[in-house]
Structure 1
Amino acid sequence: MSLPPNILNRIIQENNERDDLILGKFAYPNKLAKRKHEESLDYRSIFTRDADRIIHSLSFARYFDKTQAFFWVNSDIHQRRMLHVQLVAKIARELAIVLNLNQDLVEAIALGHDIGHVPFGHDGEKILSRLCNKHGIGGYYHNLGSIHFLQEIEMQNLTLPVVDGILCHNGEKHHRMLYPSHIELTWENHEREIQKLLDSSEKNIYPKTLEGSLVRVVDTISYISRDILDAEHMGLLKFSDIPQSVQKILGNTNRGIINCLISDLIKNSIDCNYIAYSEDVFSALTELYSFNLNRIYLHEDKLQPLKIIEKAFGILWDKYYNDLTQKKTQSKIFVDHLELNLNQIKTRLPNINSLEKYPYARQMPEIIVRDFLAGMTDQYFWELAREIDPSLVFHPETVY
């Protein structure tokens, strides 16, 4: 049931007036946001609607069993993607309040930024990317995958500032000072940046809003010390193993490091048109990332299971490519991917009520197979792989 026009218009007017009072001069206002396909307004801010669409998407639900860093353990306490994106959204929203930025915009970007991550984290992404190159469709980038899932597969019709922030996030690239890109925020420029990513002519693209820049920086804050905490729970290392030069500046606990990074960011970013750290904190942060890279992200314990995972990716690709091209409609690539998404879409867009009318279903088979694999949770991936080859097992350590 829709609200009466007089009540709806009043709410919209009051929301705009509230923005004018709360948002700083460098914030992105709700009233400027555009969708590729315009829609009528409702009582929520336009970015709140985007956040709601992301939370209720099929892709968001799969965060619950997608690996953050440690795919080779069973544990109830180390973080998966679901916790990570919640941490990013929480920290980014708190910082947006202090910096007078658009809280709803940063929340929507944060919640959607890792949708495109594949099973087994960055390691799984590298394996899938090699498969994609082998089959002639170019590499796989999870940031591009995030907006592809939300916009093309699930047809969420998000606003451009949210889509831009998701596309341009990169928690593995660190900057002491991050300005919003000077490129104009238009759908045409957005498509050009996507093409540059696809043809590898440009890999470092930057958000066009200060909110997107904030989320990009907070992505690192949310995982850098939490990954150490998870590693400590697993017995891989301790916070006391962090270089003394880093401990002296950032601290030696998860809580302390996060607080230090946030406080420094506020001090160096407030009332500014950029997001920045001080020199000494940024230097310590880059040293801490190098420590994590050597002691966690490149840890030798995952080398053996990675060989098995790579074999499983190849088996699943071949199986579902054959099922798709041979139109085996009972296959899970139809039932659990194409039809599942279509059934969700047609509740919102009744005219798209068959695969023939579903634009995504006309993509190349290689693209659809890639997306089916990328969208899987770790557990679902193994269930399908072991149906084909029961010998595909490894024995992860259990940590509670």
Structure 2
Amino acid sequence: MDIRRKIEERERSVLSPFAVKSFDSRGREETEEQCSVRTVFQHDRDKILHSKSFRRLKHKTQVFLSPEGDHYRTRLTHTLEVSQIARTVARALDLNEDLTEAIALGHDLGHTPFGHAGERVLNELVPDGFHHVRQSLRVVEKLEKDGHGLNLTYEVRDGILKHSKGIGPIDPGQPGALPLTLEGQVVRRCDILAYVNHDLDDALRGEVIAFEQVPRDIVSVLGATHGRRIDRMVRDMIECSMAAGGSEIRQSQEMAHAVISLRDWLYENVYRIRSVHDDFNKAARILRELYQYFVQDEEQLTAYGGRRREGDSMDVSTADFLAGMTDRYAMNLYHELFLPQPWKIL
């Protein structure tokens, strides 16, 4: 029995006319035999989930550098929270949940160690710049599976490439800036919903801020607890998208303004405060010195696990190597290369 075809028929009858059906995918860059059990988007999800890049996310910084507490978020737990929220929205709107999940699980694979501080350093050092969005796409297209890439579908790659907002508006209003699929647009919005909530939660747990400091106008719209905020944001997105006929992913103006206000408040009161920023300055120094060490010596780069792809400059190859590191690997390697080691007497 071809189970995949049964699932595809179910999509045809159940999903919204605005959802992407797996049998309508634009396909992969390289043709491969389809699975008899999974649709192409289910297969993409599994490729990402079983990749080395995905596993390394568990030791990459979300907000706090290498936190010792068991309950602080990492880049991996952030990714899982985005996936859960986005799947809830997609299911409510009868969108393709498998496509949504694949995009969500792959959206941050290109993040550097030490969070956005690491990204800023590589962007300064690499001649053509560096951004985790482009690197996430590079990971799935060129770096994973020993340089062969994951050969994902067009729709998943498009969603990964266009998920990021930076500190700009959620909807930039520029042609081509938003993902082509509604599923990708759901992930783009749920990414910010997830991180403003869990970053606030972590900052409160770490006593970086007190709840009384959070502006009352933001609390009145979003809610006073993590669960209440997620619930209100998700309901708002579902209701506003349904009111638009399901052809667009929307939030109310009040909710979108509150989300952006909370994000901006977190930048000023959490991300950029001295106690957090000072550690990231130290982390930035680690990456700078590692970059300068490896960019000048291909033999050392490959000896420590880096790879030169045909046609890539040493700058790009070094950036690939550093971006793939976890926080602890980068710190341990720095210690090994630049700090004296205890003398071992035989």
| TM-score normalized by the length of structure 2 | 0.90
Q: Does 1:35 align with 2:28?
A: yes
Distance 2:16 2:53 in 1: 33
Distance 2:20 2:156 in 1: 11
Q: Does 1:245 align with 2:217?
A: yes
Say whether the 8 Å CA contact 1:240–1:252 is kept in structure 2: no
Shift of 1:322: 3.2
**1:33-112 matches, cutoff 5 A:** 33=25, 34-42=27-35, 43-71=37-65, 73-112=67-106
Say whether the 8 Å CA contact 2:237–2:249 is kept in structure 1: yes
The DSSP-based 3-state class of the residue aligned with 2:68 is strand
- Which residue number corresponds to residue 21 of structure 1? 13
Shift of 1:172: 3.4
Say whether the 8 Å CA contact 2:66–2:327 is kept in structure 1: no
Q: Does 1:212 align with 2:184?
A: yes
- Which residue number corresponds to residue 270 of structure 2? 296
Distance 2:49 2:5 in 1: 26
Q: Does 1:123 align with 2:117?
A: yes
**Letter of the structure 1 residue corresponding to residue 19 of structure 2:** A
Say whether the 8 Å CA contact 2:193–2:259 is kept in structure 1: no
- Which residue number corresponds to residue 352 of structure 1? none
- Which residue number corresponds to residue 258 of structure 1? 230
Query: C-alpha deviations, 1:135-173, integer Å up to 9, x for none?
Result: x2x110101100101111121100000000000001435
Partner residue of 2:136 out of 134, 146, 161: 146
Shift of 1:301: 1.1
Say whether the 8 Å CA contact 2:294–2:300 is kept in structure 1: no
Shift of 1:319: 2.0
Query: C-alpha deviations, 1:249-300, integer Å up to 9, x for none?
Result: 1111111111110111111012321111112112222221121111111111
Say whether the 8 Å CA contact 2:122–2:319 is kept in structure 1: yes
Say whether the 8 Å CA contact 2:123–2:131 is kept in structure 1: yes
- Cα gap change, 1:172 to 1:258, in 2 (>3 Å): farther
Partner residue of 2:285 out of 267, 287, 311: 311
Shift of 1:382: 0.2
Q: Does 1:364 align with 2:313?
A: yes
Distance 2:236 2:171 in 1: 12
Q: Does 1:373 align with 2:345?
A: no
Long gaps (5+) in structure 1: 1-6, 184-204, 339-354, 392-400
Distance 2:34 2:61 in 1: 37
- Which residue number corresponds to residue 268 of structure 1? 240
Q: Does 1:164 align with 2:158?
A: yes
Say whether the 8 Å CA contact 1:98–1:266 is kept in structure 2: yes
Bigger shift: residues 376-385 or 360-369:
360-369
Structure 1 residue ranges (4+ consecutive) displaced by more than 4 angstroms after TM superposition: 173-179
Distance 1:178 1:313 in 2: 32
**Letter of the structure 1 residue corresponding to residue 46 of structure 2:** D
- Length, aligned pairs only: 332
Query: C-alpha deviations, 1:64-91, integer Å up to 9, x for none?
Result: 1000111174322110011000011111
Distance 2:275 2:331 in 1: 19
**Letter of the structure 1 residue corresponding to residue 86 of structure 2:** A
Say whether the 8 Å CA contact 1:228–1:292 is kept in structure 2: yes
Shift of 1:226: 1.0
- Cα gap change, 1:176 to 1:127, in 2 (>3 Å): closer
Shift of 1:182: 6.4
Distance 1:293 1:256 in 2: 22
Query: C-alpha deviations, 1:105-140, integer Å up to 9, x for none?
Result: 0000000000010011111100111011xxx2x110
| TM-score normalized by the length of structure 1 | 0.79
Identical-residue share of aligned pairs (%)? 32
Say whether the 8 Å CA contact 1:265–1:276 is kept in structure 2: yes
Distance 1:330 1:267 in 2: 52
- Cα gap change, 1:218 to 1:123, in 2 (>3 Å): same
Shift of 1:388: 1.8
Query: C-alpha deviations, 1:192-219, integer Å up to 9, x for none?
Result: xxxxxxxxxxxxx220111000000000
The DSSP-based 3-state class of the residue aligned with 1:74 is coil
- Cα gap change, 1:247 to 1:307, in 2 (>3 Å): closer
Say whether the 8 Å CA contact 2:270–2:276 is kept in structure 1: no
**Letter of the structure 2 residue corresponding to residue 209 of structure 1:** T
